[in-house]
Amino acid sequence: MYLLLDPRHETEIEVAVWDGQGSPQWSVYHRNHTSLFEFLIHSRQLSLKKLRALTGIFLIPGPGGFSTVRGAAVLTNILGLAAGIPLYPLRPRKRESREAALARVFHAPGKSSHFIPPIYGKPPHLS
């Protein structure tokens, strides 16, 4: 089973679980990235035992909204570190859908990473 985090929407992070054959099991959009971890644990019953059963976590590291990209990257890196889960950056090519990119790398994801840095599409809007 793989966890996928896609923060490319301006205000939402999409979280999906894919089985070992590359088929999506469930997917949800979550607006409040600060409570996303709590949501995953309580609503989807992703216990530490289930998290450790994950084969890997795919993260599309951006570009997207500053807070969503940062939130997804932090959550991905924390889960990978805490549960010892391999991390895989997923970077769709130009005009390639996320599903096509995932199919391209799913069975041969390449070298896993211990940390995936976020890719911001533009500088943060600070006032």
Closest by Cα among 49, 48, 58, 66 to 16:
58
Tokens of 17: 């679980």
Mind listing the domains of the chain with CATH numbers?
2-106 (3.30.420.40)
pLDDT score of 117: 92
* Sheet strand arrangement including 2-6: 24-30, 13-18, 2-6, 56-59, 87-89
What global pTM score does this model have? 0.82
**What are the pLDDT tens digits along the chain (127 aa)?**
888 899 888 788 888 888 877 788 887 777 765 567 666 666 556 666 777 788 899 999 988 888 888 889 998 998 899 888 999 998 878 888 877 887 777 767 778 888 999 988 777 666 6
Residues 88 and 114: beta-carbon distance below 8 Å: no
User: Can you list the alpha helix ranges (DSSP code H) found in 3-127?
Assistant: 36-43, 48-52, 66-83, 98-106
Q: How many CA atoms lie within 13 A of 126 on its CB side?
A: 2
